[in-house]
Chain A
Amino acid sequence: MSQHSPGGIMIVLGTFIVAFMLSQTPLPIILEWWRPEFVALFVIYWMMALPQRFGVGSAWVLGLMLDVIKGSVLGINALALTVIAFSTLLMHKKMRMYPLWQQAIVVFFLIVLNQFIFYWFQAIAGTIAGDFTFLIPAFVSALIWPWVFVVLRSIRRTFKIS
């Protein structure tokens, strides 16, 4: 495999388009808090697997796109994903060694961080219900992490992205 194949970038981008779609598909109202933070999960995976290619800058750009797609305040997702990407980068070597369930715990805390960034901003903007439902996505994301990990790893291996 040559150093950096341009195809690899397209595949990674493709996974993120899928992540955007997953984060946009309509859910019934009862389930609206139960949606995993797919884009954040994908950022964590690619950050962990390819830190030499996927940087905090990429996370920032993706966050900005997500802001526009979700229609949230410009910069909030960029901020959250940058923080997540950087935290992942700090411990990506350790995380690679962990078994999946332990990774899931780390992922849980990373998404909690993400949700808190949102919650704080909503609190500043003054549109918030004051309970802990906003932490549900962190649980769901942690639960779904092993599957995300396995799927993305098989994609990475199939297309030999390195």
Chain B
Amino acid sequence: MKPIFRGGLPRLSFLLLVILALGLLVSDYRGDSVRPVRSALSVLLTPIQWLVDIPTNIADDISMVLLERTVLIKDNNQLRSTSIILERKVQQMIVLRAENVRLRELLNASEKIDDKVLLTELIGVNPDPFQHQVILDKGSEDGVFVGQPVLDAGGIMGQVVEVSLYTNRTMLVTDGRHAIPVEVVRNGMRAIALGNGSHGELDVTHVPDNADIREGDVLVTSALGGRFPYGYPLAKVVYVQRDPSRKFMLVRAVPLARLNNSRYVLMVGEKPQQKNTDKASLQSPGALGEGL
């Protein structure tokens, strides 16, 4: 913070700085050209991110220490019972998975069922109310990539939009700029769920007037965009309105993930490396057939 400009009114430097800021703004908004600058700066500023997290951590620790014994016992019992229920499901899962793999082999489908999973902790929330973003404590060092799906125990939370060395920024599904292809579990009807910028609400758009969708339907990812894996729950339909004066139905859904209070979240999927293979397969027609 040196006094760069001395004496008089720095009109010229003001003008220059405004132009510089506008230039940055436009180039960041239009394309990827300033992304390296941003990731370099964000590595430099990572300590501040950690500093910010300190008060929350201390509060967490204190409340841990002060927890009552009875509460702990109650929690413990509850966790034990859910764990038993889950274990029972897992037992079934083993058989089902084996069966599924066999069936897929019969169908010649090569889709993997198990996804690679990375457990991450949420270290910050973007305070800007215009953006629904959270900051997670895994970065490119841990193999996180832009576009990686993020989910919690309830369902899909969002996707990574920015990666620096040790942290990443994840856009939640309720952000006004987010869209995700989904299907209705009950009948497989496809749709697209858009964030509308308000918390805890998604718009399901372009649903034809005669489509079979009801309140209470669960929407899962359809993997059509090629970004989210298939079959993770996203939201539950809470409001359906058929209005004859509109072309499409008005459908609202509530995300199943606890977007506001999950502290531990999962990142799934591996970095896609299809760029080279895509080129290769395009060059040789034989490989193209296999690729399809």
20 A-B pairs with C-beta separation under 8 A: A9-B1, A13-B1, A20-B52, A26-B125, A29-B260, A55-B13, A56-B5, A58-B4, A65-B45, A68-B45, A69-B45, A71-B133, A71-B135, A71-B169, A73-B29, A74-B34, A76-B21, A78-B17, A79-B25, A125-B29
The reply to whether B197 and A127 contact each other, CB–CB distance below 8 Å, is: yes
Q: In whole Å, how far is B9's beta carbon from the nearest beta carbon of chain A? A: 7
Interchain CB contact (< 8 A) of B48 among A17, A25, A76, A127: A17
How many A-B contacts at CB < 8 Å in the complex?
136
Name A80's closest neighbour in chain B (CB-CB): B21
Task: Say yes or no: B13 contacts A26, CB within 8 Å.
Answer: no
Q: CB-nearest residue of chain A relative to B48?
A: A20
| Contact, CB under 8 Å: A118 / B21 | no
Residue of B nearest to A20 (CB): B48
Q: In the bound complex, do residue A21 and residue B25 qualify as a contact, i.e. CB atoms below 8 Å apart?
A: no
- CB pair A23–B1 under 8 Å, yes or no, is no
Expressed in whole angstroms, the minimum distance between the Cβ of A125 and any Cβ of chain B is 7
- Partner-B contacts on A (CB < 8 A): 4, 9, 12-13, 17, 20-21, 23-27, 29, 32-33, 35, 52-58, 60-61, 63-65, 68-76, 78-79, 82-83, 86, 89-90, 118, 121-122, 125, 127-129
Which residues from B are CB-within-8-Å of A4? 3
- Among residues of A, the one whose C-beta sits closest to the C-beta of B4 is A57
When the two chains form the complex, which single residue of B13, B29, B49, B177 contacts A56, counting CB atoms closer than 8 Å?
Answer: B13
Set of chain A residues within 8 Å of B127, measured between Cβ atoms: 23-27, 32, 35, 70
Q: Which residues of A contact B22 (CB under 8 A)?
A: 75, 79
Chain B interface size, as a band, is 35 or more
* Residues of B participating in the A interface, judged by any CB pair closer than 8 Å: 1-6, 9-10, 13-14, 17-18, 20-25, 28-29, 34, 37-38, 41-42, 45, 48-49, 51-52, 55-56, 124-131, 133, 135, 162, 169, 175-177, 197-199, 260
Contacts A78-B17, A79-B21, A128-B130 known; 17 new A-B pairs at CB < 8 A: A4-B3, A9-B1, A13-B1, A26-B56, A26-B124, A52-B3, A57-B13, A60-B17, A69-B48, A73-B28, A73-B29, A74-B24, A75-B28, A79-B22, A89-B10, A127-B130, A127-B177
Q: Judging by beta carbons under 8 Å apart, are A78 and B48 in contact?
A: no
A93 to chain B, nearest CB (A): 12
**A-side contacts of B2, CB under 8 Å:** 9
B42 contacts A68, C-beta separation under 8 Å: yes
Closest chain A residue to B6, Cβ basis: A52
A74–B10 Cα distance when bound, in Å, is: 23
- The answer on a CB contact under 8 Å between B129 and A33 is yes
Chain A residues positioned under 8 Å from B28 (CB to CB): 73-75
Q: A21-B52, A74-B24, A78-B24 are in contact. Are A118 and B130 (CB under 8 A)?
A: yes
Most chain A CB neighbours (cut-off 10 Å) among B1, B13, B22, B126: B1
Cβ–Cβ contact A75 & B21, under 8 A:
yes
Chain B hits for A17, CB < 8 A:
48, 51
